[in-house]
């Protein structure tokens, strides 16, 4: 079947991802609905990494030979591609980290905070945008505050004026929720935080894969100051994440990790530091991962983020419709596909999420079950765990049909229908 | 025959396990008790609060409040039914036997004399991701018993 809004060359796109040919136990074809956890990789990313390792491998910046020059150029080209992907005003604003968690920890570690200050987060954050702030507040004596959630899975902004006050130093929130799928009003919240004199940190781990992002086109008052995402969710490799931040801030803030590459000069008494981005890239960076990430974001840009976003919305609408057709299934988060991302968490009455996932897995359908590193958000909705199906640019309506059928099979197996 | 799944699901979800899941034995938190523990499976969020009441080297009661999947819920039911009324030494021997079964990757033949309904978990050992579900309540029981033995004051 076909739906308006799917990627026009979906079958060609699927051929770019070799793993989608996988057959699983019992001869079931892989139905991969766990892309919010990690995305699959196109051949072009795999090839770019293999080519680098086979022909150009050397350390970067410090190797005085031809391979060193090639490797440095390839690594820095990865940075250029990521800068273009984000529409970053400057390439020097792109810092490579290990993952999004490290990027968020970096920010929470270096921003100056003290007693009397407060940090505002939200109840729908991934643990990686909660715990670093708890640690920062414990270390500095700052107060941690958070936005609650409305019943429909959106942020409750009714008390925004009392939460964000003149003592707020940081407002940190996710662009797209990994559990509820909610798309948060980034520009509106950022404007409000900036008006109070606070800095804004956005976790774009779920947004970067599926929303077009153009930082340069955002007006400075509504543009976040820090944006973090991870490579492996944007069809790139694991082991690399990105922190984008305003260049002036990066060059003002103290370093995070000390070591090679982040220095200007070192004596036994003191050290002066390099300018961003190298200031925040101590030690040998993830070189081949940067090459892979560059190829990945190029691939997504070639397909077109606007088209990918439309595809995701179309598949998500079809998924929500399918889930609504099953008695005893409740979706957590917004029910309007245009208001949400492509990760849909749900409950099946009488069957625990682990058991749902196990039954689906036995039919080749890969979903995630558990708290999805968002325990507070689950608690808010009175559930301990959920099952989550998440699509991406290679997902087909037939795969959603397989999921819906698999849930029906699960209900019969557990005799709840 | 129609293929409905590609794995030996029925080995995992034995009828005995599903029965215990639907009608768990000994659940609820009861008094008196000498120790209460709270165990969490951090990767999936399964939780159990478990109390033990010891009398003269014997486990007089195991009571619990658990949230989780069918395997972990049935595990708590089977475990409590097996160890209530046994001496601490006997209970630890059953625990060791069950642990060996779970870590046996499906190669260990369970002893029904010792494990009774617990033999139904033999199939779980073939699903490495689920072994921790089956063991959650056992680990909590062991922890509670050793806490009770070292602290020992009854809570009424």
Chain A nearest-CA distance from B88, in A, is 32
The per-residue pLDDT for A364 is 97
Interface test with A, best of B3, B4, B5, B23 (most A CBs within 10 A): B5
Residues of A in contact with B9 (CB under 8 A): 358-359, 362, 413
A361 touching B, CB under 8 A? yes
Tens digit of each residue's pLDDT (9 = 90 or more) over A95-112: 999 999 999 999 999 999
The confidence band for B101, taking pLDDT boundaries of 50, 70 and 90, is very high
Output phi, psi for B144, to 5 deg: -65, -40
Residues of A in contact with B70 (CB under 8 A): 352, 354-355, 414
The confidence band for B151, taking pLDDT boundaries of 50, 70 and 90, is confident
At B33, is the secondary structure helix, strand, or coil? strand
DSSP state of A52: I
Inter-chain contact B13–A24, Cβ cutoff 8 Å?
no
The per-residue pLDDT for B8 is 79
Q: Which of A239, A242, A249, A237 is nearest to A205 (CA)?
A: A242
Residues of chain A with pLDDT under 50: none
Q: Is the pLDDT of residue B3 over 60?
A: no
Higher pLDDT, B156 or A138: A138
Distances (CA, A) of A399 to A42, A59, A103, A213, A394: 19, 43, 34, 28, 10
Pairs of CB atoms within 8 A across A/B:
64
Inter-chain contact B13–A364, Cβ cutoff 8 Å?
no
Helix (H) or strand (E) holding A265: strand A263-266
Q: How many residues does chain B have?
A: 156
The per-residue pLDDT for B6 is 63
Inter-chain contact B6–A24, Cβ cutoff 8 Å?
yes
Chain A neighbours among B 86-145 (CB < 8 Å)?
127, 130, 133
d(CA A196, CA A173): 16
Inter-chain contact B69–A352, Cβ cutoff 8 Å?
yes
> Can you point out the beta strands (E) in B2-130?
35-40, 47-55, 58-67
The per-residue pLDDT for A3 is 92
The per-residue pLDDT for B44 is 73
The per-residue pLDDT for B2 is 43
Q: Is the pLDDT of residue B50 over 60?
A: yes
DSSP string, A136-195: HHHHH-PEEEEE-B-TTSSB--TTHHHHS-TTEEEEEEESB-TTT-BBP-HHHHHHHHHH
A362 touching B, CB under 8 A? yes
Inter-chain contact B45–A362, Cβ cutoff 8 Å?
no
The confidence band for B70, taking pLDDT boundaries of 50, 70 and 90, is very high
Query: Which token pair is A333?
Result: 């988060």
**Within 10 Å of residue A378's Cβ, how many Cβ atoms?**
20
The per-residue pLDDT for B4 is 56
Q: Among A373, A375, A405, A409, which one carries the catalytic annotation?
A: A373
d(CA B123, CA B137): 18
With a cut of 0.90, is the ipTM above it?
A: no
DSSP string, A305-322: HHHHHHHHHHHHHHHHHH
At B18, is the secondary structure helix, strand, or coil? helix
Residue listed under structure tokens 């520009």: A187
Sheet containing A94-97: order of strands? A94-97, A241-245, A226-230, A199-203, A168-174, A118-122, A143-147
- Told to judge if A373 belongs to the known catalytic residues of this protein, a careful annotator would answer yes
Inter-chain contact B45–A378, Cβ cutoff 8 Å?
yes
Please check whether residue B136 is in contact with residue B48, taking contact to mean a CB–CB distance below 8 angstroms.
yes
Chain B nearest-CA distance from A416, in A, is 11
The per-residue pLDDT for B1 is 36
Output phi, psi for B153, to 5 deg: -85, 125
DSSP state of A56: I
Distances (CA, A) of A117 to A113, A114, A380: 6, 6, 26
């Amino acid at each position: 079947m076909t739906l308006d809004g799917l990627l026009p060359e979906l079958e060609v796109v699927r051929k770019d991802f070799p793993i989608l040919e996988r057959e699983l136990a019992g001869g079931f074809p892989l139905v991969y609905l766990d892309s919010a956890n990690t995305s699959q990789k196109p051949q072009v990313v795999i090839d770019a990494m293999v080519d680098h390792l086979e022909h150009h491998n050397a350390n970067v910046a410090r190797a005085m030979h031809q391979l060193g020059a090639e490797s440095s150029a390839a690594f820095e080209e990865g940075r250029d591609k990521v800068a273009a992907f984000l529409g970053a005003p400057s390439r020097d604003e792109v810092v490579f980290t290990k993952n999004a968690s490290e990027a968020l920890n970096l920010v929470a570690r270096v921003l100056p905070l003290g007693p009397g200050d407060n940090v505002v987060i939200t109840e729908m954050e991934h643990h990686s945008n909660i715990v670093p702030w708890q640690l920062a507040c414990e270390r500095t004596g700052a107060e941690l505050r958070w936005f609650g959630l409305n019943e429909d899975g959106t942020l409750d902004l009714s008390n925004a004026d009392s939460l964000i006050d003149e003592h707020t130093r940081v407002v940190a929130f996710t662009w797209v929720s990994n559990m509820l799928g909610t798309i948060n009003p980034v520009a509106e919240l950022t404007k409000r935080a900036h008006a109070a004199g606070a800095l804004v940190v956005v976790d774009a781990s779920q947004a970067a894969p599926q929303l077009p992002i153009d930082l340069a086109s955002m007006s400075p008052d509504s543009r976040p100051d820090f944006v973090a995402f991870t490579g492996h969710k944007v069809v790139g490799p694991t082991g690399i994440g990105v922190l984008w931040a305003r260049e002036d801030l990066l060059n003002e803030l103290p370093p995070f990790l000390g070591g090679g590459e982040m220095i200007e000069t070192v004596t036994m008494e003191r050290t002066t530091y390099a300018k961003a981005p190298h200031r925040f890239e101590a030690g040998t960076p993830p070189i081949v991962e940067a090459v892979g990430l560059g190829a990945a974001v190029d691939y997504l840009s070639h397909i077109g983020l606007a088209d990918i976003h439309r595809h995701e919305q179309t598949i998500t609408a079809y998924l929500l419709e399918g889930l609504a057709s099953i008695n005893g299934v409740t979706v957590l988060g917004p029910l309007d596909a245009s208001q949400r991302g492509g990760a849909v968490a749900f409950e099946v009455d009488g069957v625990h999420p682990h058991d749902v996932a196990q039954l689906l897995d036995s039919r080749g359908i890969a979903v995630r079950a558990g708290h999805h590193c968002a325990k507070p958000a689950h608690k808010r909705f009175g559930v301990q765990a959920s099952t989550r199906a998440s699509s991406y640019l290679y997902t087909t309506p037939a795969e959603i049909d397989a999921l819906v059928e698999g849930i029906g099979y699960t209900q019969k197996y557990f005799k709840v229908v | 025959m129609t293929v409905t799944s590609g794995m030996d699901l029925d080995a995992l979800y034995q009828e005995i396990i599903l029965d215990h899941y639907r009608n768990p034995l000994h659940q609820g938190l009861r008094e008196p008790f000498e120790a209460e523990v709270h165990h969490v499976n951090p990767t999936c969020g399964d939780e159990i609060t478990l109390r033990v009441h010891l009398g003269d080297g014997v486990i007089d009661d195991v009571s619990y409040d658990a949230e989780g999947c069918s395997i972990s819920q049935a595990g708590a039911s089977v475990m409590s039914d097996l160890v209530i009324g046994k001496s601490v030494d006997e209970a630890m021997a059953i625990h060791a036997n069950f642990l060996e079964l779970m870590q046996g990757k499906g190669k260990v033949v369970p002893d029904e004399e010792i494990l009774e309904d617990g033999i139904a978990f033999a199939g779980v050992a073939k699903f490495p991701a689920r072994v921790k579900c089956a063991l959650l309540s056992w680990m909590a029981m062991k922890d509670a018993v050793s806490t009770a033995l070292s602290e020992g004051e009854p809570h009424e």
